[in-house]
Structure 1
Amino acid sequence: MNGRDRREQSSPLLFVVCWCEFPGSERMSRLPAIVSSEGYVPGVNEPEQMICQYLHLTNSMGCSWSGCDVSAFSVPLLILQLCIIFFVSQAFFYLLKPLRQSILSCQLIGCMVFIWFIRLDKHLLNQLFPESGKLVLSTVANFGYMLHVFVVGVQIDTGILRTVHRHMVLMGCMSFLVPYAVCVMLLMPLPKLIQMDEVTLHTIPFVVALTSMTTFPAVTSTLSDLNLLNSDLGRLSCSTALVTDFCSWITALALSTIGVALERQDWKPLKNVFWIVCFLISMCFVLRPFVLWMAKRIPEGQDIKESQFLVVLVTVLLCGFLSECLGQNASFGGFTMGICVPDGPPFGSAIVNRVDWMATTILVPAKFAISAFKVNLKSLGGDEVFAALITEAFITLAYMAKFISNFVLALYFSVPLQDAFHFSMIMCTKGIIDVSAFSLIRSNEVVTDQAYSLLILNMLLVTGSTRILLWHFYDPSTRYQTYKRNSILESEPTDFFRMVVCIHNDENVTSIINLLEVSNPTRHQRMEVTTMSLHPLEGRASAILVPISEVEKIPSAQNRVLQMGKAFYYFMERNHNSINVEHFVAMAPYGSMHEDVITIAINKCANIVIVPFHKRWAIDGSVEAAFPGIRSVNLKIMEKAPCSIGILVDRGQIGGPNSVLTRRTKVFRITQLFLGGADDREALAYSSRIVQHHHISLLLVILQPKQTDVEMAPEMHEKRMDHEIIDRFRMECKGRDVYIQQEAAKDAQETMHLLREMEKGCDLFIVGREHGYAYSQLTYALSEWSQCPELGRIGDLLATSEFKFSVLVVQQQPMERIQSGRVSSARIVNDSGRLSSARF
């Protein structure tokens, strides 16, 4: 081996900066042609790389006007590098977005491609990324990574560990130990069978250990991007990944400490373990109570103070410093500090919002650029191709053993086949913490360039393919199908009337309670109501779905939820023996919030789900605010719910001065428009319950077309069902304050005129969403002004500011959500980690 080869394989590779003083007075006029130089010098053990750079070349101070190269100065060069890395990362994220790749994978791929491209031009490479500039860029990148890991720690709900069930602990531990043990056992007899070099034999155990890891942030990032965070699969994966992450860290700490002790034949490194344990204990019992005390001092509804934010940020820096003193990476201290900060609003979410955008968007891509520089594709070929094949075989074997062990254990614990397959795929995904671990062991010369490159490439392949397959083939809505229609119309009069109602803010409480009162709960027509307080996921990595009895797990929403619960508790006490109310709290992204609602609807066998409209009206009747996130939730519930849906457009009549609760002695006036079709029949079935209330007056308007086209057989069947439900309604409502009015119209204009006449003397208007083909001529023209198609043509018109009454739009469960001839079993992972089955 020649001298150059020895220098290229020198280990460790150290950057030694040699500062050369240059007179400041002559700095601008006598800039040298060469601002830095590098070379190899004899080191203590092996050759080391030395970089010499002039001391004052930090800020350019406008020397570009004198013909100086600005990129020769460290500050302008750093700014230029960060800008280039940012634009390259965002460009690749935009290009790979159709493939559902994560922003972190796109950043790494973009940096690898860009660096490969500029390496073709040595001069361009030295201009943009000289060796002297890499030291500064690496320092900034590590600082940004520490802040990013701190944010990750803030978003982790430590309460998950208290609720993880035993089978999840077993699955999490086996997810790391099985692939590691399998590969190590196969490696032991391998040198006797084939000839292997010592470097590859030493590298493979570390490669296998890194492949066997599953980090919690990588799993939550994948689930969040695919809107699976609060699905059954997501809850199982998050809990298991947290256990696997904890298990792998403990194993890595023990093996590294013991390995150093055996290598040096000195057990002093074991003292580090003792001090690390002391550090963790002090964080748990000293620092965390202090941070919780600061969080409790924030008044409800107010944001975190600047002084509190600065205290937390400085503490992060101190924890990083102490972590370095203990022999760990600074990110370890940042992560443990993040665990001490309470997640969610107002404290955790405020810190995440202030730190995350800078750390993750600007500084973390620099970490990937540094990691991309270490990828050496040339090391995979040439004379080292056999070693590369052996290393790749063990990486593939580790992934396969990890997948199979997770798959078998999931099946053993009664996870459905499809969910077990996708769960095993998710547990094989990697993220930024894995990349950082790869880069760290490469910097410490634990693994070779060849092994490091294979780890990065396999990570991108496995994680990228997993995201694509999950996006294309995993549909959690398949478990929502039932073998019969769950609706009000199909339920027996003696059955419990089961409702699930959604609450997004305090303003929904009064209207929902009064709608429940309108629904007429009695001893003969008992109701089971499940209320769900829905909150967007802020400052957290995992979703939450808990009953109100466990609301202490969500300190940020505890006061609001308890107040809502008290309101429904008083309502239940007032209607004793006629209604039972359960209250749940859910925190999830708007993209997957419908999963929690549908999960509860399945478990409770609900007949109807009531959701509030996404617009809020002002006193003068105009739209005060609109919430697109709530609208997206309503659309997905209407598309996938296993029962009927009702969208409540509340303008104050339900919860205002005309409410049933505040005006017991006066009549609450309801109007229903009936054109025909499944949705109108479902709405009429709901009205049949309402009219039993002593203070309800209902006007049923049956609207028919004056001229009809040639009727087809399916329409004849629909008409027959319409006549049957109307006749049954007449019989059930005898002696009640009910008026039935027959009307006819020829087009949408006459329909609109009729609706305006109904506005007089109406507090609540009930209508179905769709009305069938025979009545399309009465509503078709209304779609030209449609703004909210989820309300239907008539419901959308009634929700405009031209009308002043509240509206309830009802949709019966679509037939495509019903299976034929078989029972569907929906598996639920509850918050205690147990698998439960809801059968319909």
Structure 2
Amino acid sequence: MEQAATSSTTDLEPEYRADGSCWKLVPVISDGLLSQKADDNIFRHPLTVLLTQIAIIFILATIIHHFLRRYHLPRLISEVLAGLILGPTVLGRFFPKMSNTLFPQQSVKILATLTSFGYLFFMFLIGVKMDINLIIKSGKRDWTIGSIVIMFPLLIIVPVARYIAANVDNMDKLSMNWVAFFSGVVMLTSFPVVASLLMHLKIINSELGHVALASALISDLISVVMINSNAYVLLYRFASLRVAIKSMFLCVALVMVVIKILRPMTFWIIRRTPEGKPVKDAYIFLLVIVLVLVTIVGDDVGLQYMYGPFILGLTVPTGPPLASTLIEKLDTVVTDVMLPLMSTYCGYRSNLWELNRRPPAFLIFIITFGFLLKVSCGFFPAICFKMPCKDATALALMLTAKGIIELGTFATNAEKYSIVPGQFTYAVVVILVCAAVVPILIRKLYDPSITYAGYQKRTVLNCPANEGLRVLACAHGQDDALSAIKLLELSNPTTGSPLSVYGLCLEGLVGGSTPLLLNHQLGQKSSSDGSRWQPIIDVFNYFKSETKKQAQVQVFTAISLPKLMHEDISWVAFDNSVALILLPFHRKWNFKGKMISDNKDLRALNCKVLNKAPCSVGILIDRSRNRGPSFLANSSIYRVCVIYLGGKDDREALALAGRMRGWPFVYITVVRVMLSNACPMQGWEVMLDDECLRDIKHPSQKNANVFYEEETVRDGMDTSVLVGSLLDENYDLILVGRHSQSNSPVLAGLSEWTDLPELGPIGDLLASSEITNPISVCVVQQQITK
């Protein structure tokens, strides 16, 4: 009898089989285009269809982005537009047969499941990248802006939108839930969206970027509390108090398990991982299993399925080794593959042809008054904290930005609500327009370089002797700090002319989306391992202990993306009224004078600082053989040479040399290079106008260790030979301006052979990898003013 039932089932045509046995006749994987049977179709196989869909989506999105990126639009726009083209808006309307072949209904469900699965991993990575310490470090301004920009829009816009939908649009109670959900999502401020926007605009390291990040993180966490509290209120209203309390208790219990059990587990994994080694794959698999379990349990106890992974991610300590390994393992697949599928899927589900009627009144209210209120809640608190009007407007727009988080929230929750055709399309269009317009408006309003444009006359030359000199010394490693300290010791700090040194440890951002600027004098720390920058801090602290009252030393650590690290350097220099930034050269030499390192990333960083710095900049090329903490204890005579061709950069180099005259064992030689037919005193009078350089030509008895020489040349070739001869004079340090007189005949022909234009023609000659002399070079550029 059982056999008869089975045979009767298999005798039916596949479309009439209710037990699902028809799926046994369709293998998941095709035999291939060349091996298929006559009556077979490769698009009947689910995996083939899925791979084809993914390929088409990425190809089309890449083509669209190729044209839109010149307008500085984010890739999200291209992905949503790709979905609109592949969905019922274009392909489904004009090529329905092709649409049914490439996107059959069952395969779209598989694609939706894949995007939802990727979204929970994305929420986990968001938590991993967040530094919860950013909330602790946030001040009154950040808390005020972050709180107002989320609380007022949610408390005002959502109830009013529901009222308009009920009384003007005459919506039923089921549709009212969608109205509340839609208005709430549009009024949110998402930290990941704001962080992505700032990175896209390359202003995440600016002062405004730091304020936006802190405010967005505070808003995001407040919204999580408000949304879940509202969920418990709804449970109380539509179920019972017992159900609401039970759900709340289970959610709190889950959060406590994550904090008390799973967080210590992450620290246990870190302790089990040797320093400098990657985390074992077994631990990563364990965390993925825990992630899935937390998602399942959270969804069962009433917590939305994306909040469980988010909370788990927050408990993972930022930085290496665990957070960086998780991001390295998961970020490419999740962010670059699954998330684009999410945004394209949202575009696919939308149908612009459904927008053939007047939009409902509640929608018009949200996109007009709602956005106006949202922007106002960010603008007026910023104005109250004395932020410039344009910056306050840009900040308000940043906190209004929309992106993948809102799209993902709509896509994963739309099935829960009874919506009429076109409502989901309205949601996608609102997000799409906002994601396209906000970056354009911010670019028009805010230019981070303008912050430094009004920063006038911050140079060594214009720094009064009685005020002392303020120097920002940047270091990637301990050797960089030692090199900077040796040069700073030469500046002869005294009680009457003190030296203010700001040491900046530069650390690449790994395993996080939030750049950090730590002030170690305030006791600020990061959850990352600080052993990498502690040796640098020790060098600056040693200099502070040796100079005592003659020098003031503060140490910072900038943890940032390498491509945006110049923003941190510029901001610290601007904020502390620094006159000179010292940067380490990207090439390193060993004790034998052999080049051992040539870091292209550091060279790119130096070039960016030169172009954007709010003060003068010096690139220090250190070939000295003395690697001790101080050269003063080991040197009886220190010889400095200044190559002067004319121009403001050379004058800045002379001003720096003028700070070294106080040491009796420091001998300074100024070599003026001029054409053979030039007047010996031509141009020198300009230098004599500067008080700090007035006695170089005719040194007094007190400064008899300053010498002046004139060398005549005919062209750039003679200048090159002269520079080569200076290398044989046993100088310890050569100071030279970057640009000198770029149009001068004494440099004719040298610019065409320059390998390192950021050093100028003379600096490029002195930085040659073929030089083995233990001689250091400092190439100085005076502040570029607009």
Q: TM-score normalized by structure 1? A: 0.85
Alignment correspondent of 1:403: 375
The whole-number CA distance in structure 2 between the counterparts of 1:630 and 1:322 is 47
Taking the TM superposition and a 5 Å limit, the aligned residue runs for 1:303-322 are: 303-322=278-297
Alignment correspondent of 1:249: 224
Shift in Å, 1:583: 0.4
Deviations 1:789-840 (A, max 9, x none): 2211111221112334221011112342xxxxxxxxxxxxxxxxxxxxxxxx
1:124 equivalent to 2:89? Answer no
Alignment correspondent of 2:780: 810
Alignment correspondent of 2:390: 418
SS in structure 1 of the partner of residue 126 of structure 2:
helix
1:749 equivalent to 2:717? Answer yes
Taking the TM superposition and a 5 Å limit, the aligned residue runs for 1:768-783 are: 768-772=737-741, 776-783=744-751
1:639 equivalent to 2:611? Answer yes
Alignment correspondent of 2:29: 60
1:765 equivalent to 2:734? Answer yes
Alignment correspondent of 2:654: 684
SS in structure 1 of the partner of residue 597 of structure 2:
strand
SS in structure 2 of the partner of residue 586 of structure 1:
strand
Deviations 1:158-194 (A, max 9, x none): 1112222344333223212322333346447647974
* Amino acid aligned to 2:655: A
1:376 equivalent to 2:351? Answer yes
Taking the TM superposition and a 5 Å limit, the aligned residue runs for 1:594-609 are: 594-609=566-581
* Amino acid aligned to 2:98: L
Alignment correspondent of 2:695: 728
The whole-number CA distance in structure 2 between the counterparts of 1:658 and 1:560 is 18
The whole-number CA distance in structure 2 between the counterparts of 1:66 and 1:594 is 58
Contact 1:545 1:586 in 2 (8 A): yes
Change (3 A) 1:37 1:811: farther
Alignment correspondent of 1:178: 152
Alignment correspondent of 2:484: 512
Shift in Å, 1:411: 1.0
Alignment correspondent of 1:360: 335
Alignment correspondent of 2:122: 148
Alignment correspondent of 2:448: 476
Alignment correspondent of 2:67: 95
The whole-number CA distance in structure 1 between the counterparts of 2:165 and 2:700 is 86
Match of 1:527 among 499, 505, 522: 499
SS in structure 2 of the partner of residue 401 of structure 1:
helix
Aligned residues: 770
Deviations 1:2-45 (A, max 9, x none): xxxxxxxxxxxxxxxxxx9999xx9xxx9x9x97689xx9xxxx
The whole-number CA distance in structure 1 between the counterparts of 2:589 and 2:701 is 34
* Amino acid aligned to 2:687: D
After superposing the two structures, state which structure 1 stretch, 574-583 or 299-308, moved more. Answer: 299-308
After superposing the two structures, state which structure 1 stretch, 344-353 or 169-178, moved more. Answer: 169-178
1:788 equivalent to 2:756? Answer yes
* Amino acid aligned to 1:161: I
After superposing the two structures, state which structure 1 stretch, 444-453 or 259-268, moved more. Answer: 259-268
The whole-number CA distance in structure 2 between the counterparts of 1:658 and 1:753 is 34
Match of 1:674 among 640, 644, 652: 644
Match of 1:663 among 607, 616, 634: 634
The whole-number CA distance in structure 2 between the counterparts of 1:414 and 1:463 is 28
Deviations 1:539-569 (A, max 9, x none): 1111111112467632434112222212221
After superposing the two structures, state which structure 1 stretch, 431-440 or 372-381, moved more. Answer: 372-381
Taking the TM superposition and a 5 Å limit, the aligned residue runs for 1:241-640 are: 241-264=216-239, 268-381=243-356, 385-388=357-360, 390-482=362-454, 484-549=456-521, 553-617=525-589, 621=593, 623-640=595-612
Contact 1:609 1:646 in 2 (8 A): yes
SS in structure 2 of the partner of residue 525 of structure 1:
coil
Identity of matched residues, % = 25
* Amino acid aligned to 2:338: L
After superposing the two structures, state which structure 1 stretch, 486-495 or 220-229, moved more. Answer: 486-495
Contact 1:787 1:796 in 2 (8 A): yes
The whole-number CA distance in structure 2 between the counterparts of 1:540 and 1:520 is 41
Alignment correspondent of 1:831: none
Contact 2:477 2:533 in 1 (8 A): no
SS in structure 2 of the partner of residue 531 of structure 1:
strand
* Amino acid aligned to 2:100: N
Contact 1:669 1:697 in 2 (8 A): yes
Shift in Å, 1:603: 2.7
The whole-number CA distance in structure 2 between the counterparts of 1:733 and 1:363 is 75
After superposing the two structures, state which structure 1 stretch, 670-679 or 729-738, moved more. Answer: 729-738
Contact 2:539 2:629 in 1 (8 A): no
Change (3 A) 1:492 1:293: same
Q: TM-score normalized by structure 2? A: 0.91
The whole-number CA distance in structure 1 between the counterparts of 2:573 and 2:334 is 40
The whole-number CA distance in structure 2 between the counterparts of 1:802 and 1:22 is 86
The whole-number CA distance in structure 1 between the counterparts of 2:694 and 2:764 is 29
* Amino acid aligned to 2:318: D
The whole-number CA distance in structure 1 between the counterparts of 2:264 and 2:428 is 39
Contact 1:204 1:394 in 2 (8 A): no
Alignment correspondent of 1:827: none
Contact 2:168 2:361 in 1 (8 A): no
Query: Which structure 2 segments of 5+ residues have no match?
Result: none
Contact 1:765 1:808 in 2 (8 A): yes
Contact 1:258 1:270 in 2 (8 A): no
Shift in Å, 1:501: 0.6
Change (3 A) 1:318 1:51: same
SS in structure 2 of the partner of residue 669 of structure 1:
strand
The whole-number CA distance in structure 2 between the counterparts of 1:439 and 1:76 is 24
* Amino acid aligned to 1:118: L
Task: Give the CA RMSD over aligned residues.
Answer: 3.1
SS in structure 2 of the partner of residue 530 of structure 1:
strand
Shift in Å, 1:261: 4.2
Deviations 1:648-694 (A, max 9, x none): 112235x5489724623x32222110111211111111111223223
Shift in Å, 1:329: 4.0
Contact 1:179 1:402 in 2 (8 A): yes
Taking the TM superposition and a 5 Å limit, the aligned residue runs for 1:12-31 are: none
Query: Which structure 1 segments of 5+ residues have no match?
Result: 1-19, 42-49, 817-840
Change (3 A) 1:134 1:189: closer
* Amino acid aligned to 2:401: T
* Amino acid aligned to 1:793: P
Deviations 1:752-804 (A, max 9, x none): 0101110011222110112236x611113111111222211111221112334
Contact 1:677 1:722 in 2 (8 A): no
Alignment correspondent of 2:192: 217
Alignment correspondent of 1:163: 137
SS in structure 1 of the partner of residue 558 of structure 2:
strand
Shift in Å, 1:100: 2.1
The whole-number CA distance in structure 2 between the counterparts of 1:444 and 1:795 is 67
Contact 2:476 2:505 in 1 (8 A): yes
